[in-house]
Amino acid sequence: MGDWWKGAVTYQVYPRSFQDSNGDGVGDLPGITARLPYLSGLGVDCIWLSPVFRSPMKDMGYDVSDYCDVDPVFGTLADFDALVARAHDLGLKVIIDQVLSHSSDAHPFFAESRAARTGERADWYVWADPRPDGTPPNNWLSVFGGPAWTWDARRYQYYLHNFLISQPDFNYHLPAVQDWALSVLRFWLERGVDGFRFDTVNYFFHDPQFRDNPADPKPKAKPEANPYGMQLHLYDKNRPENLNWLARIRALLDEYGAMAVGEVGEAHQAIRLMGEYTAPGRLQQCYSFEMLGDDYSPAFFRNRIQGFFDGAPEGWPMWAFSNHDVPRHAGRWAEHGASTDAVAKQACALLLSLEGSVCLWQGEELGQVDTELAFEELTDPQGIAFWPAPVGRDGTRTPMVWDGSAQAGFTSGRPWLPVKPPQRARHVAGQAGRPGSVLAFYREMLAFRRGSTALKAGRTRFLDTPPPVLAFWRETPDERLLCLFNLSPDPRQTEVPKAATQFGPALACSVAKGQVQLGPSGAGFFSLPL
């Protein structure tokens, strides 16, 4: 398959919320298969399926109880095989989530491990004795609140869970655990998947000495809503032992010509880890939460892009502006643009102009915004735990809006999360074929990227333009493209070389006598003879 992934655009599908085929209100594999022509027509190269494995669904599938079977709520293995075959017929690659750093506590391996301190899988999970006063062995915290340790009266020990109490962490210091994990990957590779997205790829290893994490050195005016962010996570994740494990994964991927992208969940050193994890012989690409926050300034984007390639010239990033864990960017950045739609279009033009690969989150091509939910409507354990702080994930996970009907064309039943009027107003049927719609612009921009060697493979050279204008060249030996963006709701003016010709999609952009007028949320592309 070669390096098809390099510069490719992946579309993240959240199976529970994409398309329901049987009226139970939950999306499923046959539903996704029926909608694959839409994704092919959109112009993406690959789809990423969030977890569809057997699970108690305490964390919506990110708590796996059987890694080699499909949960009945989504369908069957035969349905999965049919989806992969149909995607390949349409020219789409398929990658699937792998949640291998932890399992569900309902997994048979954990039942075996917690039963006694001796036995074949006694050490497959991370266990530790209490301190003399009975407290946990260290100060590590769970992402979902409280200590990362839970007492188990069967073993008289604590077990580690970086997330929910029901998500115990595997012990990857044990070679047998690594061997088992590779067997899981091989199972899905044999079924024809083109690769994997690795959840929490920097969480596989822990410090075997169980040292305390230090406090976050960044000054804080007050405690954070989630205390997890108040630590510098040196010992509970980001461990150097991870590098050899990623090399083992890469060796298996190379057997099948497959690809993997790792999710780096880290606030302080994500760019460095992305570079380390994508060095030759490790994962092909990584993405982080670097661009999933509130900053929408030229300096921010320049520092992240330039910082990655300066620090990891042989590495490869995947950039995303939204996903299933964070608020949607059309709403998150709305104050920086002329309107929600204007920000959605400009963000599309910017994201698809960045050096690296790109991941789109389902519904962002509609300019979709988060759903405001009442407490009783929540399903997300993180949102419930930290209510009313705006940290829940249900708001971005509501069903895909296919049309303006009561259930959005998603289901004939009651959807697992509600579709409310602000979301229902942005639907595929209403935007398809309508000039000026967000969906029409995504299709235009995706086609432009696909036809441009500079955007898919060119190196980046930033220009020193005054903010809020962001300007950079994307260059290959046979194409030079200047990319301009006004990241503000006010008009701006800048210059381009006299020989430059406006080329490709444009947003509130005009040029006369070498002067470019960029309206609010404006964007434009200019080619220059070689």
- Interval 221-277: pLDDT, tens: 889 888 999 999 999 999 999 999 999 999 999 999 999 999 999 988 899 999 999
What is the crossing angle of helices 242-256 and 270-277, to 10°? 50
State the pLDDT confidence band at 390, using cuts at 50, 70 and 90: low
- Can you give the pTM of this predicted structure? 0.97
E strand segments, 153-213: 157-160, 195-198
Closest to 238 in 3D by CA, of 272, 196, 286: 272
What's the mean pLDDT when you consider all of the chain?
Answer: 96
State the pLDDT confidence band at 219, using cuts at 50, 70 and 90: confident
Determine the pLDDT at residue 389.
79
Q: Is 199 a catalytic residue?
A: yes
For 507, the 3-state DSSP assignment is strand
State the pLDDT confidence band at 433, using cuts at 50, 70 and 90: confident
Determine the pLDDT at residue 8.
97
Q: Which of 190, 255, 314, 478 is catalytic?
A: 255
State the pLDDT confidence band at 388, using cuts at 50, 70 and 90: confident
State the pLDDT confidence band at 391, using cuts at 50, 70 and 90: low
Q: Which of 20, 63, 194, 199 is catalytic?
A: 199
Determine the pLDDT at residue 229.
93
For 479, the 3-state DSSP assignment is strand
CA dihedral 176, 63, 197, 191 (to 10 degrees): 70
Given a cut of 90, is residue 306 above it in pLDDT?
Answer: yes
Determine the pLDDT at residue 220.
85
How remote is the C-alpha of 182 from its chain's centroid? 22
For 245, the 3-state DSSP assignment is helix
Tell me the residue type at 484.
L
Q: From CA 147, how far away is CA 121, in angstroms rounded?
A: 24
User: How far lies 141's CA from each of 228, 256, 261, 389, in Å?
Assistant: 6, 38, 26, 18
Residues 6+ apart with CB under 8 A from 514: 495, 496, 497, 498
Average pLDDT over residues 33-55: 98
Neighbours of 294 (CB within 10 A): 11
Query: What six digits make up the tokens of 473?
Result: 């060249």
Given a cut of 90, is residue 171 above it in pLDDT?
Answer: yes
Query: How do strand 515-527 and strand 492-495 relate by DSSP bridges?
Result: antiparallel
| Residue 215: exposure state from Cβ atoms within 10 A (0-12, 13-18, ≥19) | exposed
Q: For 49-82, what is each residue's pLDDT tens digit? A: 999 999 999 999 999 999 999 999 999 999 999 9
Determine the pLDDT at residue 392.
83
Task: Please work out, in degrees rounded to the nearest 5, the angle formed at the alpha carbon of residue 295 by the alpha carbons of 465 and 383.
Answer: 165
Determine the pLDDT at residue 211.
98
List 360's β-bridge partners, or say none.
11
Q: From CA 520, how far away is CA 340, in angstroms rounded?
A: 12
| Residue 209: exposure state from Cβ atoms within 10 A (0-12, 13-18, ≥19) | exposed
DSSP 250-270: HHHHHHHT-EEEEEE--SSSH
Q: For 90-124, what is each residue's pLDDT tens digit? A: 999 999 999 999 999 999 999 999 999 999 999 99
What does DSSP assign to residue 73?
Answer: T
Determine the pLDDT at residue 32.
98
For residues 472 and 454, is the Cβ–Cβ distance under 8 A? no
Average pLDDT over residues 137-155: 97
Determine the pLDDT at residue 422.
96
Q: Is 403 a catalytic residue?
A: no
Tell me which H or E stretch contains 113: helix 108-115
Query: What six digits make up the tokens of 21?
Result: 């085929």
Query: How do strand 157-160 and strand 127-128 relate by DSSP bridges?
Result: antiparallel
Domains along the chain with CATH numbers: 9-103+174-448 (3.20.20.80), 458-527 (2.60.40.1180)
